[in-house]
Amino acid sequence: MSAQPAFQRVLIKVSGESLLGDREYGIDSHAAEEVARKLKQVTDMGVQVAVVVGGGNIFRGLSASQQGFDRATADYMGMLATVMNGLALQGALDQLDVDNRVMSALDMPAVAELFIRHRAISQMEKGRLVILTAGIGAPYVTTDTGASLHALELHCDVVMKATKVNGIYDKDPEKFPDAKRYETMRFADAIVDENIQVMDTGALSMCMENNMPVMVFELFEGDNLIKAVKGERVGTYVSNDVETKLVAE
């Protein structure tokens, strides 16, 4: 496999849980540093990178709304959690001398630039990693859907969903040891399969309608992120142009 990247501009969706480390809640500085190191490997390849970070390690808007919070209020609280994670990730990247900018869909000039599409593209073209926080600044929209939207408006080549599970399985691999992983999957199949929880249907539908491929893989497993950027088939590749196929045994 060539050392050259297969993608020139990528959007990487990083879950809030990736910043937990061994903690049950909050941000572990060592985990943030490990994520930053993996992102640095990609920027060192000359790839333009935008990162959307979730907030589930601090606050989940949907879960809070189910417990009695007003849904819109809960979602705004979740957006603030993503800003906190974005600042933590920025600090870790700064320690590694990775030039970066934090942008927020909510106006908070003391801590982040306001997200403006052309400005974000300009920053990436200058070689700066852009951390996108606060979703799209509106409630009732998941960070996965926000990531898909950002990938489209920033003209990224692919959405890379870096998660704790190495791809999409036919059933929950944490509950069923015999779960089988899909090597490739058509968007249409991913949307109708109720067993697939790795991305919400809104995000998948948006990517399907706009031919934006998605790669789902485990962030901390070996060099998965580097391999994904090189175009190697790690995890599961989701597209309109592939057949739904399990990994050959």
pLDDT of 192-232, one tens digit each?
Answer: 988 777 788 999 999 999 999 999 999 998 999 999 999 99
Among candidate residues 114, 148, 120, the one with its CA nearest the CA of residue 50: 120
Strand partners, 100: 129
* Contacts (Cβ under 8 Å, ≥6 apart) of 29: 88, 92
The confidence score (pLDDT) of residue 62 equals 65
Domains of the chain: 9-246 (3.40.1160.10)
The residue that leads in pLDDT, 154 or 68, is 154
User: Roughly what angle, to the nearest 10 degrees, separates helices 143-153 and 201-209?
Assistant: 20
Among candidate residues 36, 42, 44, 38, the one with its CA nearest the CA of residue 86: 36
And the tokens for 130?
């852009």
The confidence score (pLDDT) of residue 3 equals 64
Element containing residue 182 per DSSP (H, E):
strand 182-186
The confidence score (pLDDT) of residue 61 equals 66
pLDDT of 10-40, one tens digit each?
Answer: 999 999 999 998 898 999 999 999 999 999 9
Percent of the chain with pLDDT over 70: 97
